[in-house]
Amino acid sequence: MSSILSVVEKFQGLLEENLKFKFSSGRMTLGKCGVPNRLFIFHLCQNQKLFSDFLQEAGLIKGVFVCEKCNSEMKIRAKKNSSDGLMWVCRKKTAGKECGIQKSIRHGSWFSSSRLRMEEVFFLTYELVRGTKSEDIQEEYFLSSTTLADWRQFVNETILDYIELNSEKIGGIDKIVEVGESKFGKRKYHKGHAVEGQWVFGGVERGSGKIFLVAVHDRTRDTLVGVIKQWIEPGTAIYSDSWESYDCLDTEGFQHLKVNHGVTFVNPDTGCHTKTIESTWRHVKSTLPSHNRQMDFKFYLAYYLYIKSCKEQKVDCFNKYLEIIRDENWAEKKFSV
Ligand SMILES: [Zn+2]
């Protein structure tokens, strides 16, 4: 199967001729070398035939559909009365009579359980995966807030599933992992009823920069040691501040060094410091959206890790998302947005 990148690149080439508008210096593009931009999505969604060709080539809808009744290959045909404007149709003739079986173009695909138009699904997904703020999307497209919230939930869950499936323990023998806890924001549900912020516990492996981030309810020994055992290989040297919950790590199969931040940032005897995790917190906080904090915190963390992993793999985050969608088995998945 072709990569999403190469399919996008091909369609960028096909759509380029539609670009009549030119800047006096420079030129408008549909994105570069297979990395799509908003203008590309717009032009693609405007041309029904090209859009369905794109979806087929990218593997986002079926490439081949065999008729259940007569076993012949069906074809995608324009159908004005259908909601998508296109349908799978079987034109096989037996004894002069056409089979006539019709199936939705969405059959067995990502689009199959959505009541939105396929173009809407595509556009909305692009904006959400790119990290566009909800209020900007609503202002731009006049979408209902329920539609937007539902689709955001779907995108969030897909990304969370992907991150959970593709995360592994960090550290190991001869490796150092810095751990720490940080409190994120203060959320106010309604006036006079402030809810304390969200504790996040995390660790970063020195050298590789591999990290884990987990939203936790508290900073007790049971909670933190539980997360450490889930995310850090035994035998790892763990560097932490002097928070008392870490005091048992020596007896839990780890080497443990600590630094007392009340006194100094580098332990003068051991050289232990936690500057890497501190700078990770600053980075996570600076990239988190300040709006729409009513969302479950685990989704923010998963999104942060998703964007980080796309950058490390040098892949575009929307192309990568389409790849995740393509590789799902939608016939077995039940969802409705
Ligand atoms: Zn048929």
Token pair for 230: 């889930």
Token pair for 114: 């959505």
Domain 176-295 fold is Nucleotidyltransferase; domain 5 (3.30.420)
CA of 88 to the centre of ligand 1 (A): 10
Token pair for 9: 């690149």
Closest CA to 132 of 323, 141, 294, 29: 141
Cα 259 off chain centre by: 36
Token pair for 154: 């779907």
**What is the reported pLDDT for 293?**
56
CA of 56 to the centre of ligand 1 (A): 20
CA of 57 to the centre of ligand 1 (A): 23
CA of 334 to the centre of ligand 1 (A): 27
What is the residue whose two structure tokens read 């003739």?
93
User: Alpha carbon of 159 to those of 44, 148, 205, 302, 318: distances in Å?
Assistant: 24, 16, 23, 7, 11
Span 12-56, pLDDT tens digits: 999 988 777 777 776 668 888 999 999 999 999 999 999 999 999
**What is the reported pLDDT for 21?**
72
**What is the reported pLDDT for 124?**
94
User: Alpha carbon of 319 to those of 13, 80, 134, 161: distances in Å?
Assistant: 17, 30, 21, 17
DSSP track, 97-129: EE---EEETTTTSGGGG--S-HHHHHHHHHHHH
CA of 184 to the centre of ligand 1 (A): 58
CA of 325 to the centre of ligand 1 (A): 29
CA of 84 to the centre of ligand 1 (A): 21
CATH 3.30.420.10 residue window(s) in the chain: 176-295
Angle at the Cα of 164 from the Cα atoms of 162 and 165, rounded to 5 degrees: 65
Model confidence, pTM: 0.89
CA of 68 to the centre of ligand 1 (A): 7
**What is the reported pLDDT for 123?**
94
CA of 326 to the centre of ligand 1 (A): 26
CA of 13 to the centre of ligand 1 (A): 35
CA of 291 to the centre of ligand 1 (A): 52
**What is the reported pLDDT for 59?**
95
CA of 74 to the centre of ligand 1 (A): 7
CA of 104 to the centre of ligand 1 (A): 14
CA of 76 to the centre of ligand 1 (A): 13
CA of 114 to the centre of ligand 1 (A): 26
pLDDT in tens, the chain (337 residues): 789 999 999 999 999 887 777 777 766 688 889 999 999 999 999 999 999 999 999 999 999 999 999 999 999 999 888 889 999 999 999 999 999 999 999 998 999 878 899 999 999 999 999 999 888 998 888 888 888 999 999 999 999 999 999 999 999 999 999 999 998 876 555 555 555 688 999 999 999 999 999 999 999 999 999 999 999 999 999 999 989 999 999 999 999 999 988 888 899 989 999 999 999 999 998 887 655 556 788 999 999 999 999 999 999 999 999 999 999 888 766 656 6
CA of 72 to the centre of ligand 1 (A): 6
CA of 329 to the centre of ligand 1 (A): 24
What pairs with residue 187 in β-bridges? Answer: 195
Rounded to whole angstroms, the Cα distance separating 301 from 293 reads 12
CA of 110 to the centre of ligand 1 (A): 24
CA of 86 to the centre of ligand 1 (A): 17
Span 165-181, pLDDT tens digits: 999 999 999 999 999 99
CA of 78 to the centre of ligand 1 (A): 17
Token pair for 277: 């995790």
Amino acid identity at 62: K
CA of 87 to the centre of ligand 1 (A): 13
β-pairing, 237-241 vs 31-32, is: unpaired
CA of 69 to the centre of ligand 1 (A): 5
